[in-house]
Amino acid sequence: MKLALVGATGMVGEVMLKVLQERNFPIDELLLVASEKSVGKDISFKGKSYKIIGLKEAIAAKPNIAIFSAGGGTSLEWAPKFAEVGTTVIDNSSAWRMEADKKLIVPEINAHLLTKEDKIIANPNCSTIQLVMALAPLHQKYKMKRVVVSTYQSVSGTGLKAVQQMENEMAGVKGEMAYPYPIHKNALPHCDVFEANGYTKEEMKLAREPQKILDDRTFSVTATAVRIPTAGGHSEAVNVQFENDFELSDIRKILHETPGITVQDNPDTNTYPMPMYAHDKDEVFVGRIRRDESQPNTLNMWIVSDNLRKGAATNAVQIAEYLLNNKLV
């Protein structure tokens, strides 16, 4: 197994290496790839030092799998070049997600769709992954009609520059700004760029991606995405209207039995999901499960996950594991 990691020096790239090591992913040859300015630098993995190489050198090596976490522009330009030499690309950017001929994969939900012919596989948006992890088993039983989601997203979702901005502001230091306003002691209803309809790109990802992952256009999603001053972990307040009624005990049981989900839901002991509990974990945590008393067949819940792990790195590595275990690479 020859594996290339494109974007090895970024925040998600670092977590990818950590997840690959933790899950003991079988690698015979590891190619760590980054931009020209990083070529030649050393990165340690499993006690061994690796030199960063460029994209052309990585393509020439013809890896079995290339995991991309280097931005949409890089993916659009270079993923097809890897695919041409027979490499299967797992892409963490938004570049390919809504392309009709590219599959958008959350392994617990739809990995069975993958074939040897899929040479570019899209990893969904971090906020989408944790949302569909909780929605998929409930949709199967009760059939969703409409989902209203408000997100509370950490600065790590923007990247290192945003984390640095928050840390500078907390320390009272003037520095480079990732956002148009301060983030410390603030909340910005502005994740990604605004589109012509007044929604941000992040909000439209949340509206469109779940339909593709669940292969169902009969339900709709509307979203408001908010950036908050937490260092890691995305939270979501989710309101779901179903076609069929439910018992709360059944909802909890279904979620409890769903692989990858941990239910934390006991108001008597102040037990509910929080980013501080999700940090460095792969599970999606669900709590505050309660009936919406304003209309029938409607549920409220609170979903939290580590956006750099299940929201990015872990999901990508799980896709790679599925490909390997099913002899698709």
| Catalytic positions | 126, 234
Q: Which residues contact 211 (CB under 8 A, 6 or more apart)?
A: 217, 219, 221
CA distance 147 to 243: 12
The secondary element (H helix, E strand) that includes residue 262 is: strand 261-263
Q: Return the half-sphere exposure (C-beta side, CA atoms, 13 A cut-off) of residue 121.
A: 32
Beta bridge partners of 129: none
CA distance 289 to 248: 8
CA distance 20 to 27: 9
User: At residue 173, what is the residue type?
Assistant: V
Nearest in space to 300 (alpha carbons), one of 218, 242, 256, 243: 242
Beta bridge partners of 262: 285
